[in-house]
């Protein structure tokens, strides 16, 4: 143990010259990248050890899923979310975005409608379109700084051609952890209107508020589980999205059959490194995850207090994820201004919300402080008409 505890999230790790998508975007420029959702921390030491062991073995032949993998997924869901699944319900995927694209093809025909609420993680909007399905976007509502569903508006949007609701829970980008009551009401609507639900729960391991709890939608009731496909991955919590391992969970065998049929011969099997990393993370990574959540919580608090005092910005409370959602509509061309000031943020327009910004705060605190100072400086120059 060091003074910082067992894990040191303050240690800066140089990601330049590693072909990092996040850092390459601003190659050669003094811009702190805070756009795409990966963390500037090394993954859990237990994951690195497992990967090193596998790398040193030296033979990288065709690999079946390790026998312990789906039982480890099931044990983690029961421990962390109180959700009992049968390991048979798991369908492995090489990425969660792959899963979003597969479900659009598996559960809706060409020309059918797929419903989602905006703002939303951009692949929710592109996946239906890639498959020639129609994407129906219903806005979430903001009230007193908190985002919620407008169920009446959602229901009015449903037509006889609507097949599927794409749900993000916890929610990227607003950071909401939907309560059991909110999820039950949403599921009630979907069951009544015979919509399948695809619930992307990739951020379920990143709940920051001690008072909030992630409820897997399908865990609420067997009748909801019958109509739900849950998409998950360890890659967001444990920061190995480049290793390509995610999974769907469906208790309904017909939904699993349709998923597998749509994937057959097209979606590649999951790589060995992703499966071993996932196994190690779920089996042995809990202590690292809890330390990470403490660190992210303090970063989140710093973002909210610092940017909350900046004129022209409204920052929403991030209950889960390491992504802050910011209303910057009072600052014209905010993304460009902040980029010129040396911080690269994600443009809310990509999420269906022009004028908003998403800031990734999963980095060492010293870097975060520098980025927040740059943002505050640029915002105050803009409020003075600069």
Ligand X SMILES: Cc1ncc(COP(=O)(O)O)c(C=O)c1O
205 is a contact residue toward ligand X (CB under 6 A): no
Least CB distance from residue 58 to ligand X, whole Å? 27
Least CB distance from residue 109 to ligand X, whole Å? 24
277 is a contact residue toward ligand X (CB under 6 A): no
User: What is residue 351's three-state secondary structure?
Assistant: helix
Q: Name which of 21 and 366 has its Cβ closer to ligand X.
A: 21
DSSP E strand stretches across the chain: 32-33, 90-93, 113-118, 134-139, 141-143, 146-148, 162-168, 196-200, 228-232, 246-249, 314-315, 323-327, 343-344, 346-347, 356-360
Q: Name which of 37 and 324 has its Cβ closer to ligand X.
A: 37
Least CB distance from residue 226 to ligand X, whole Å? 23
Burial-class residue 239 by CB neighbours within 10 Å (0-12, 13-18, 19+): buried
Least CB distance from residue 39 to ligand X, whole Å? 11
Least CB distance from residue 217 to ligand X, whole Å? 14
Q: Kindly indicate which of the ranges 82-90, 95-103, 262-270, 348-356 contains the residues binding ligand X, using the contact rule CB under 6 A.
A: 95-103
Residue pair 213/80 in contact (Cβ under 8 Å)? The answer is: no
233 is a contact residue toward ligand X (CB under 6 A): yes
246 is a contact residue toward ligand X (CB under 6 A): yes
Phi first, then psi: give them for residue 256, nearest 5 degrees: -65, -40
Tell how far CA 293 is from the center of its chain.
Answer: 15
Question: Which residues between 134 and 173 bind ligand X (CB under 6 A)?
Answer: 168, 172
Q: Name which of 91 and 341 has its Cβ closer to ligand X.
A: 91
Q: Kindly indicate which of the ranges 69-77, 91-99, 183-191, 289-297 contains the residues binding ligand X, using the contact rule CB under 6 A.
A: 91-99
Least CB distance from residue 155 to ligand X, whole Å? 24
319 is a contact residue toward ligand X (CB under 6 A): no
348 is a contact residue toward ligand X (CB under 6 A): no
Sheet bearing 90-93, strands edge to edge: 90-93, 246-249, 228-232, 196-200, 162-168, 113-118, 134-139
Residue pair 127/104 in contact (Cβ under 8 Å)? The answer is: yes
Among 216, 272, 284, 219, CA closest to 245: 272
Pairing mode of beta strands 196-200, 134-139: unpaired
Question: Which residues between 166 and 195 bind ligand X (CB under 6 A)?
Answer: 168, 172
Least CB distance from residue 105 to ligand X, whole Å? 16
Q: Name which of 246 and 255 has its Cβ closer to ligand X.
A: 246
Q: Name which of 362 and 379 has its Cβ closer to ligand X.
A: 362
Please pick, from the candidates 72, 90, 95, 259, the single residue that binds ligand X as defined by CB under 6 A: 95
Q: Compute CA distances 39 → 118, 217, 300, 319, 363, whole Å.
A: 24, 26, 14, 17, 6
Tokens for 34, please give them: 């805070």
Tokens for 124, please give them: 């929710």
241 is a contact residue toward ligand X (CB under 6 A): yes
Please pick, from the candidates 51, 202, 232, 334, the single residue that binds ligand X as defined by CB under 6 A: 202
Q: Name which of 37 and 91 has its Cβ closer to ligand X.
A: 37
With CB under 6 A, what is the number of residues at the site for ligand X? 13
* Cα distance between residue 241 and residue 234, in whole Å: 9
37 is a contact residue toward ligand X (CB under 6 A): yes
User: What is residue 320's three-state secondary structure?
Assistant: strand
43 is a contact residue toward ligand X (CB under 6 A): no
235 is a contact residue toward ligand X (CB under 6 A): yes
Least CB distance from residue 95 to ligand X, whole Å? 4
Among 371, 367, 369, 372, CA closest to 14: 367
Q: Name which of 98 and 187 has its Cβ closer to ligand X.
A: 98
346 is a contact residue toward ligand X (CB under 6 A): no
Q: Which residues bind ligand X (CB under 6 A)?
A: 37, 95-97, 121, 168, 172, 200, 202, 233, 235, 241, 246
């Amino acid at each position: 143990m060091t003074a910082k505890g067992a894990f040191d999230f303050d240690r800066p790790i140089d990601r330049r010259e590693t072909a990092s998508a996040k850092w390459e975007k601003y190659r050669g420029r003094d811009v702190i990248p805070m756009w795409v959702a990966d963390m500037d921390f090394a993954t859990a030491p237990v994951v690195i050890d497992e990967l090193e062991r596998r790398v040193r073995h030296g033979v990288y032949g065709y690999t079946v899923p390790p026998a312990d993998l789906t039982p480890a997924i099931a044990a983690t869901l029961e421990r962390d979310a109180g959700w009992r699944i049968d390991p048979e319900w798991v369908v492995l995927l090489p990425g969660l975005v792959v899963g979003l694209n597969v479900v659009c093809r598996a559960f809706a025909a060409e020309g059918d409608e797929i419903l989602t609420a905006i703002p939303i993680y951009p692949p929710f909007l592109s996946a239906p379109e890639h498959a020639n399905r129609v994407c129906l976007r219903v806005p979430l509502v903001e009230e007193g700084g908190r985002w919620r569903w407008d169920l009446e508006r959602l229901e009015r949007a449903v037509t006889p051609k609507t097949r599927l609701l794409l749900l993000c829970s916890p929610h990227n980008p607003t950071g909401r952890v939907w309560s059991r009551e909110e999820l039950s009401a949403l599921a009630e609507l979907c069951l009544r209107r015979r919509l399948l639900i695809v619930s992307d729960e990739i951020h379920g391991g990143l709940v920051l508020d001690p008072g909030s709890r992630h409820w897997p939608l399908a865990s609420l009731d067997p009748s909801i589980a019958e109509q739900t496909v849950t998409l998950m991955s360890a890659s967001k919590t444990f920061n190995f999205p480049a290793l390509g391992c995610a999974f769907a969970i469906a208790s309904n065998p017909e939904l699993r059959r349709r998923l597998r049929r749509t994937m057959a011969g097209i979606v590649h099997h999951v790589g060995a490194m992703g499966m071993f990393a996932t196994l190690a993370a779920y089996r042995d990574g809990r202590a690292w995850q809890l330390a990470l959540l403490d660190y992210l919580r303090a970063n989140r608090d710093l973002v909210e207090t610092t940017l909350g005092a900046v004129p022209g910005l409204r920052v929403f409370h991030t209950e889960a994820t390491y992504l802050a959602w910011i209303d910057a509509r009072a600052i014209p061309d905010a993304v460009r201004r902040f980029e010129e000031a040396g911080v690269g943020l994600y443009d809310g327009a990509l999420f269906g919300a022009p004028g908003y910004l998403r800031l990734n705060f999963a980095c060492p605190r010293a870097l975060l402080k520098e980025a927040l100072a740059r943002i505050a400086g640029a915002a105050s120059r803009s409020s003075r008409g600069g």
